[in-house]
Every structure is written in C-alpha cells, then in structure tokens.
Structure 1
Amino acid sequence: MGQHVKKLSAILVAKLSSPGYYGDGDGLWLQIATGGSKSWVFRFTLAGKRREMGLGGLSAVSLAIARERASQCRLLLSEGRDPIVERNAARTSDALHRARLKTFDQCAAAYISAHRGSWKSAKHAAQWETSLANYASPVFGALPVSDVDIDLVVRVLRPIWDTKTETAVRLRGRIESILDWATVSKYRTGDNPARWRGHLENLLADPNKIAPVVNFPALPWREVSSFMTQLHAREGVAARAVELAILTACRSGEVRGAAWDEIDLQAQVWTVPAARMKAGKEHRIPLSTQAITLLQQMPREGAFVFPGRSAGTILSDMSLTAVLRRMGRGDITVHGFRSTFRDWCAEAVGNAFAREVCEHALAHSLPNKVEAAYRRGDLFDKRVPLMQAWADYCNQSGFAAV
C-alpha cells in the first residue's frame, strides 16, 4: 500500500456536484449519483477480483470518518481478509445478539401463540396469561430471556409457594416450558432454571407436603340410589345433566358440552370427540336404558343436550354444582361421582368386571405404556353390561329417569 495522498477536502467535497467518482486516494472514493446524492465507497482488489464496498452517505459519514473506515478496510486487506465479508459477518452477529435480547414476556407471548391451537379452550390460554402477568412479568418479564436465572425464578415462586401452592406449581411449569422454548429457539443457552429435579427441589419445599393432593369429595356408593331418587325429584336442565353425569361416570365438562350429533339413541352410544376429552382421545360411552330414557325426554331446542340460558351456549361450570348445593349437599362434587362409580366397581361388584374395563369406563389411560400400546381397543362391548349394572344399581329405589 502506498502513502495515503488525501486528495479531497471537506470544502471540495461540499462543492462537487457533477455525477461521477472522485478519488481521495488508496481506494477511497466520493460517489455522486445522477440525482445529486453523495456517498463514500471503498474500491479494492482481492484474489484478482475488483470489489466495491459502500461506506455510507455523506449526510451521515464525514470525510474524516470515511477515511477512518477506509483505513480499517486496508488493515483487513493486509491480513488477507475481505472487508465486505467481515462487515456482513459483524452485522449477522449483531442481529443475532439483538435477537437474543428478546424479553421473557415476548417469549411467553410467542409460546402461548404457538400452542394456543392445541389447547382445549380459550380459558386455558387465559390462565397462562393471567398467572404469568400477575407473578412472573413484574419480576423479569422485561428482562432478556437469556438473563432469567434460578434466583429470579425463586424470587417469583417463593412468596406464593406456601400460600398458593397449586398456583405456584402450575406457574413453575409454565415458566419452565417458556424457557425450554426460548432455548430451542436459540434465545438462551444452558440449563433451565425453572426445572424442578436437580434445581428448584433443593430450594423450595415439596409441594405435595405443603398442600397434599385432596381428592374430590365423593358420595359413598351405598348412598347413590337414595341420592338419585332425590335428584330425580328436582326439575331443571342442570339436574338432568347431573343425572346423566352419574349414569355415565363422565366428567362435568363432557356432559355440559354434550351435543345431539354425538349421540346415537338407536345404537345406544354416545361418542365424545377427542377434542372434548381430557386425554385427547375419542371416548365411546355405552348408554344404559335409564340414560336413553333421560335423553329421549330432553327437548331438542338446539345443538346441545343441556343448553345454557343464551342461545347456542352450554350450561355454566357452576350450574351443576349449584344443584348439589340446593340439595344441601355442598359436601360433595359432581366430579366425585366418578369416584363413587369406581368404588362401586371395586367393592360392590367385585370381580364381575375386570379392572381395565372399569378404567376404560372412566376414560383413564392405562398406566403401563407397554400394555397400552398393545391394547388399543376401548373394551366397548364389555362396558355395555357394566354401565347397565351401574344404572340399575342407581335405580334400585324404583325411580325411572325423567
């Protein structure tokens, strides 16, 4: 490289106006476009190829700055490095760095958006958003997700770990999922600080010991017949929904959302689609004669068997619970009748029906994954007499469903 001549001056650069190239020396040129705009370029030859690299417009880059940038380019060339390649690599690195500054809140929103379609209801997504907004966002929501560490996670969880244990446990799992998503998306690296095993279990108490799992209060199976007689005497769509929930051993949500097009009265089967099942798998339910009678006497005033007050809606989540409370049975829950059914299977009919038949009636997945892989049927034919026997037991006081 020869000595830099510096042919241009700030005054000359300002005066020049004719389109063309004006050299300053050692590869630095002032370019004036046809429209009159001025910019700097650096021309060089590398590996026998002539290249031209833009250094910026005159409005932002002065002559002195242009000379400094040209000097940096010449230094790279002296080392056999291409200035254009080096600049592009630096821009890519900066862009990646900025991407990694994505905040936890931004990652949470992206995670929820990506999974919203696979969740069963808008309520589920709302629960995610609310818990994160209430607890996580105030502490580290605005921080880069790569900066979220175990200290920050504990700062969120510790205040509610003992007092709102169930909420805290769910929140921990949500934070863990979002951080896993951020890692896979290359917004962070390293271990997940919200992981329980090997991490938070060493800093927070066992949630099962703080707030032991409490089963849904259930009616003793020996009392179900007299209870059904009292229930049958009550009027209203919600009472009938509770009745069908008991006869079919279904979950409240499955009953409340029951649609007429799911039910084949002639074949005596109710098919709940996978989208409405907790396990995400279609569930066929044998309908006893009592259940068929109940359904036949329900008015068909829309798509749903148990419509809500507004057209096109279903009964609210609390409507079935309200029936129990009005009966003076606030000590039990609708979900608890599933336990009542299971206890009856185990204690009343003994070995008359195999364990897996009873579990399939509750739409439970087999705990043994190997066994489940080979047993793909739903044991429907074996469940037909089981559900009829259960309905007959519920009906032994002599009432006829609706």
Structure 2
Amino acid sequence: MKINRNQDTDVKPILNSVPDPILVETPVFATVAQQYYEMKCSAFAGRHAEKQALRLQMILEKYCLPSLADIPMAKLKTGDVLQVLKPIWEEKTAVAERVRVTISRIFEMTQALGICRDVSNPADWSNNLEFFLPRPSAAFQLTYPPAINYRELPRFFRVSRSLDSTQIRALEVMVLTAARADEVRTALWSEFDIKKRLWRIPASKIRYQRNGWDHMVPIPERVIEILESQPRSETDAVFPGLRGRKFLGESALNNAIKRVHEVDLANGGPGFLDPETGRVATASGMRRAFKAFAIEEAGVSDHLVKLALSQLDKATVNRSPILVQAVSKRRVLMEQFAKYVLSPNNNSRE
C-alpha cells in the first residue's frame, strides 16, 4: 500500500478516495496514516521540506503499512507494533525509534478525533514497549561516516584529477577546504575573495553558528585554480546543478566519491573503503581524514582543528564577543594539507 502524493506540488499530498477519519467510526491504520501524512507535509518548511516528506513517506510505506494498514485503530495492539519494530530495533535503532514515534503520533491523532480515547497507546515506550525492547540508547551504537585513511588521499586525488565533471571539482574543493558538503554544494561566487584567498561561509549555513560568526576559510592554490576554471552560470552558484537546478543535488558529492572509487577499481586499485566498515568513503568522512592529518601529520592543536572544521560548540560561539579564527595559522595548515594530498610522491600503496 502506498501513500498518496500530489506530484504537481512540492510536498502536499492529496486524499485520493480515502475516507475522512472524522466520518468513520473505527478507521483502519492506513486511513489515519494518510491524514497524518497530509498534516505533517503541510507543516514541513524550509530547504529540506521535500526531504522530510520523503522520509516520512518511506517510514510509512516501508515499515508501517505492510503489516498495519488494514488493522482498525481500535484493535491496534502492542503486539502489532512489536511485529514492526523487532526486526529493525537493534540493527536500525534510529530508524526504528522514528517508526515507533510515527505510529504513536498516528494513534494520538486518532484519539484527538474522538476515537480510542479510552485505549492506551500501543506505541508508548513507558510501561509498555520498555518491557519488550532494550532502551534505544542501549541498542544504538555510535557510528561515524565511512572515511579513508588520510594517507590514501594522494592516490585519491590522482584518480579524481583524471576525471572531468562539476561534481568531481566540487568534491576536490570540499576536501581541500575541509568544508561540509552542503557548504560546497550551495557555495556562491559572492562568498569568495580570490585576491585575499578567502572563502567566507555565512553563519546561516553553519549548524552551531546561525546568527553567529561567518566561517573564514583560507583557500589553497588548487582551489583557486578550480574556481577560475568554473564557467559562470546565470545564477550566483559556483557549482550549478543539472537540468536547470540552482545547486548540485544533496547526494552529488557522495556520488562523486563513488565514481572515483569505481574508476580506481577498474584500474586495478583497491578502491577507497573505510578500513573499519569496508564501506565506500563518504563526503562527511573526508573531514575525518583531514582531522587525522591535522593531528597526526601537522601536529596542530585540537582548538585549531575545530576552528578549521568549524566545529566550535554553540556555547563557545555564543560567549565569545570576538571569535578569533586564527586565519593565518589555519592558512599554513591548509597549504600543508594541500601540498600533502596533491604531491605525486606520496603513495599509500607501498
């Protein structure tokens, strides 16, 4: 069973021949789920509204509806919820918790409509599911985005520089500046000062620095070369997307890494896998590689690394009347990093 969506609008779905729960004495789960989906989509806002809608649709269609769709809400039991959660609780704990909360909210919506008011919520955690499942914090294991060893970066760049695409050039800028993928994808020409060799990332783009300080990024020579080689588009975007989109898609840089990985495999190389997980490296993982280089190879302080990665905690940013960004020291670090990864003499495959 599928959730009905109106493809002509961004996120607002339509109620296509689904009865209104208010008019149905004991609606089935799928009916209320559709209403819940519509309500949430109308509330989603901001840049990621479409992404939020798609994630909710995935949760409903992949996990909830297959086994719960035809169950009347008045007959929905804890056992039904457990049937959904148990197969994914330990392997996909974060997803499973979102599924549980979604089911719980759908049941609460039913109660708000005057149905099942005298029935306990079968998706509640306290005094209910806690007796059958380990606590989410106990089942959840902290994971990090797949990354390659920084010693693999010179070989990575030898492969990437043999390829020609906007996504690959954006990927190289991301690695050489240790910026976040979204900061690179949405980079604007107005943010760059080529003469001063600086990139000013607005605080509004940075997780803990919204309404705080812009992040000043010293850019090495290779980044300037890439910028100067980029054709100017009709918009201010440095890396415009395909098919008329203003920016590259959210998965563009991860896809670029996969392309470099596949080309290396085709050339007889080992590819670029995380040594711990065996998974292909990701855009976020490249920042981990930079951090390892900065600490192990360059020997800089932890504070300077956090400045370079724009990872100062919110409290530090808020209490600082002047945020000293140590641009000169970071420029030395970024040039050292660029020299390392671009050197033809650095070879991790000895």
TM-score, with structure 1 as normaliser: 0.59
Q: Does 1:105 align with 2:33?
A: yes
Q: Which has the higher contact order (CA 8 A, sep 6+)?
A: 2
1:3-402 matches, within 5 Å, as 104-118=32-46, 120-141=48-69, 150-161=78-89, 167-176=95-104, 193-196=122-125, 199-205=128-134, 212-266=141-195, 268-272=198-202, 274=204, 281=210, 284-290=215-221, 291-303=223-235, 304-316=237-249, 317=251, 318-328=255-265, 329-331=271-273, 332-350=281-299, 352-355=300-303, 357-364=304-311, 366=313, 373-375=318-320, 379=323, 381-383=325-327, 385-386=329-330, 388-396=332-340
The structure where strand makes up a greater share of residues is: 1
CA distance in structure 1 between the aligned counterparts of 2:120 and 2:292, rounded to whole angstroms? 44
Percent of residue pairs identical: 23
Is this contact kept in 1: 2:104–2:121, CA < 8 A?
A: yes
Is this contact kept in 2: 1:252–1:334, CA < 8 A?
A: yes
The SS at the match of 2:200 is strand
Is this contact kept in 2: 1:358–1:383, CA < 8 A?
A: no
CA distance in structure 2 between the aligned counterparts of 1:225 and 1:278, rounded to whole angstroms? 30
Q: Deviations over 1:327-353 (max 9, x none)?
A: 342413332111111222333344x33
Is this contact kept in 2: 1:241–1:320, CA < 8 A?
A: no
Deviation, structure 1 residue 271 = 2.1
The SS at the match of 1:395 is helix
Q: Deviations over 1:265-294 (max 9, x none)?
A: 4552232573x6566937634132333332
Aligned to 1:48: none
Greater Cα shift, 140-149 or 229-238: 140-149
Is this contact kept in 2: 1:265–1:292, CA < 8 A?
A: yes
Q: Describe the shift of the 1:252–1:262 C-alpha distance in structure 2 as closer, same or farther (beyond 3 A).
A: same
Is this contact kept in 1: 2:189–2:238, CA < 8 A?
A: yes
Q: Deviations over 1:362-397 (max 9, x none)?
A: 34462xx755653486x4622553254134222246
TM-score, with structure 2 as normaliser: 0.66
Letter in 2 for 1:343: A
Computed over aligned residues only, the root mean square deviation of the Cα atoms, in angstroms, reads: 4.2
Greater Cα shift, 380-389 or 298-307: 380-389
Letter in 1 for 2:96: A
Q: Describe the shift of the 1:233–1:133 C-alpha distance in structure 2 as closer, same or farther (beyond 3 A).
A: closer
Q: If you compute each CA radius of gyration, which structure gives the higher value, 1 or 2?
A: 1
Deviation, structure 1 residue 247 = 1.4
Letter in 2 for 1:293: E
Q: Deviations over 1:134-182 (max 9, x none)?
A: 3223444566767755333223222444565554343234334555677
